[in-house]
Every structure is written in structure tokens, then in C-alpha cells.
């Protein structure tokens, strides 16, 4: 498959690019500065682009079968999430790309108590604006006509290794027997590429964790 990955220079984006290349896909990695992604591969092209510009998105995405957004900002850049959603929706429509996978957030997932994760007592309040921005972006994607899939990672994304073993949840936070919710960057990438290839959650969302 020929796919374009936006924000490919971050830890999640790079892992997605590397996983896609392992699976023999042809990848265009879009970054603000190509020097931020020092990868070389015969099936990889690294382009400069601006995720917040619909025209830039359309230019980068043209001729591709699917797009992946790996935007994982810190709290100080929370407002980029809905802005990026609007830009992606407009740019991909102009480019004629109908399939989009988004790495999102976990804050609005339901917990075993019935509360959203961001409403629970122990949730860091400094992260709440980020969770709210993820929720706003999700509503933009789900209200569009695009064939989207929104992937909510675990509450904690950690450096680790690729195991290919994890669990999937639908709108609920996935936790282990100790109540922890984690996923490695590498296995998050596996989950994204599995969905790209299998299409089990068209116009839907899922959560992934160990």
C-alpha cells in the first residue's frame, strides 16, 4: 500500500514508519524538517510539510491510498489537535484520499468506574486541556464523511519492544490485572498497521493496551 504518515519524526510517527516499511508498504513521511527523520529506505520518501495547512496536506497526500496522523503533542500544544483535524479533513478531501488513521488520546475513554479517565480523581489536571482537545478532534473526525479510524492508546505510552501481543477495547480504557494501562511505542505502531491492513474499525475507534 502507498501511505503517507504525518508528524513522522516523533517517537510514535517514526515507529509507524518503521513498522510500515517492515510490512513492505511504500511510505511518504511528512515532517516539518526532513533532517528530523534520519531514515533511509528504498520505499521511503521524506517530505517537508505542515500538518496545520490544508494545502500542504493535500500536496503531501496526493497519490496515496491512505494517511496516518501521528500527532502526539504535549499539553502546551493541545490546540493543535482540532486545528490538525480540520486541516487533515480538508486536505485529504482535496487530494482524493478517503482513508485516515489517527493516533489519538485516552482521556475520554470510559473507566471501570463509569467515569471518563480525565474525570477520575487521580487524573493530572495539567493534562485535562490536552484530553479535551483530543475529544474535540475526535468529534471532528467522527462527524466527517471520511473513512477514519481513531486509535486511543493506553494511558501511558512507553519505550519498550515490539511483542505484537496486546488487547483491544471499544471506547473503554484497557487495563491489566494491576489496573495499569500501558503500551509500548512499537506495539502501538503494530496496532495501527494491523488496522490499516485489516480495516476492522472503519468509521469507528478502538483502544489498545497490554
- Cα(134)–Cα(152) distance, integer angstroms: 10
CATH code of the domain covering residue 184? 3.40.50.720
pTM: 0.96
Burial class (CB in 10 A: 0-12, 13-18, 19+), 98: middle
State the pLDDT at residue 186.
98
- Cα(102)–Cα(82) distance, integer angstroms: 12
Report helix, strand or coil for 80: helix
State the pLDDT at residue 209.
98
Q: How many domains does the chain have?
A: 1
State the pLDDT at residue 87.
98
Kindly indicate the confidence band of residue 7, based on its pLDDT and cuts at 50, 70 and 90. Answer: very high
State the pLDDT at residue 206.
98
pLDDT, one tens digit per residue, over 30-77 is: 999 999 999 999 999 999 999 999 999 999 999 999 999 999 999 999
Q: Which domain holds residue 139?
A: 2-209
Under a CB-based contact definition with an 8 Å cutoff, are residues 39 and 47 in contact? no
pLDDT, one tens digit per residue, over 78-91 is: 999 999 999 999 99
Amino acid at each position: 500500500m502507498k501511505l503517507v504518515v504525518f508528524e513522522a519524526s516523533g517517537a510514535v510517527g517514526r515507529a509507524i514508519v518503521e513498522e510500515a516499511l517492515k510490512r513492505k508498504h511504500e511510505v511518504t513521511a511528512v515532517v516539518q524538517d526532513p533532517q528530523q527523520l534520519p531514515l533511509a529506505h528504498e520505499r521511503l520518501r521524506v517530505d517537508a510539510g505542515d500538518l496545520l495547512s490544508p494545502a500542504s496536506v493535500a500536496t503531501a497526500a496526493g497519490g496515496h491510498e491512505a494517511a496516518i496522523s501521528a500527532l502526539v503533542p504535549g499539553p502546551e500544544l493541545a490546540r493543535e489537535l482540532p486545528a490538525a483535524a480540520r486541516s487533515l479533513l480538508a486536505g485529504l478531501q482535496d487530494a482524493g484520499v478517503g482513508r485516515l488513521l489517527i493516533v489519538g488520546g485516552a482521556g475520554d475513554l470510559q473507566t471501570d468506574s463509569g467515569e471518563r479517565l480525565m474525570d477520575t480523581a487521580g487524573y493530572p489536571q495539567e493534562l485535562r486541556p490536552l484530553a479535551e482537545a483530543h475529544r474535540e478532534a475526535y468529534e471532528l473526525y467522527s462527524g466527517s464523511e471520511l473513512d477514519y479510524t481513531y486509535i486511543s492508546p493506553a494511558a501511558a505510552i512507553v519505550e519498550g519492544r515490539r511483542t505484537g501481543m496486546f488487547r483491544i477495547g471499544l471506547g473503554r480504557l484497557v487495563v491489566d490485572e494491576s489496573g495499569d494501562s500501558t503500551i509500548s511505542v512499537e506495539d502501538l505502531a503494530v496496532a495501527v498497521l494491523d488496522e490499516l491492513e485489516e480495516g476492522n474499525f472503519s468509521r469507528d475507534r478502538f483502544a489498545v493496551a497490554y
